[in-house]
Amino acid sequence: SAAVRAAISRGNSLEALEKALSEPPYGRGMEAAQSANAQLVSEILMATRAQDIGSVVGDLSDDDQDVLLKYIYHGLAHPAEFNCGVLLSWHERVVESGGLGSVVRVMADRRTV
């Protein structure tokens, strides 16, 4: 979305992520929207400086961290399309912040992104 891209261009990764994670497309027939949003989240993750990842993750709500983890797992399942090194850096920070409970909630949730 335009608001997300504007936040990315301003270097505001937190705002961009909050907007991109706020209403993830779930359900059948949403594959195009899911793919587009996954690419958008990936752009945000790659645009964020490595030293800022921890603070950005820490400022996200628990729900947003869980949705972010869904996108991370989606990206790791499609290594040809996403930068797995960046995704693993983010995964580490999300698990540090949200603990293993976040991983369990994401794995148990049948809604995928």
Q: What angle do CA 35, 107, 95 make, to 5 degrees?
A: 90
26 and 101 Cβ atoms separated by less than 8 Å: no
Q: Which amino acid appears at position 38 of this protein? A: A
pLDDT of residue 50: 96
66 and 57 Cβ atoms separated by less than 8 Å: no
- Rounded CA-CA distance 94/33 in Å is 24
pLDDT of residue 106: 97
- Rounded CA-CA distance 69/62 in Å is 11
pLDDT of residue 72: 98
pLDDT of residue 61: 97
Structure tokens given for 84? 């797995």
pLDDT of residue 1: 87
Report helix angle 84-108 to 31-47, nearest 10. 130
Q: What angle do CA 68, 43, 97 make, to 5 degrees?
A: 30
Q: Burial, 75: exposed, middle or buried (Cβ in 10 Å; 0-12, 13-18, 19+)?
A: buried
Q: Model's pTM, two decimal places?
A: 0.96
Q: Which residues of the chain have pLDDT under 50?
A: none
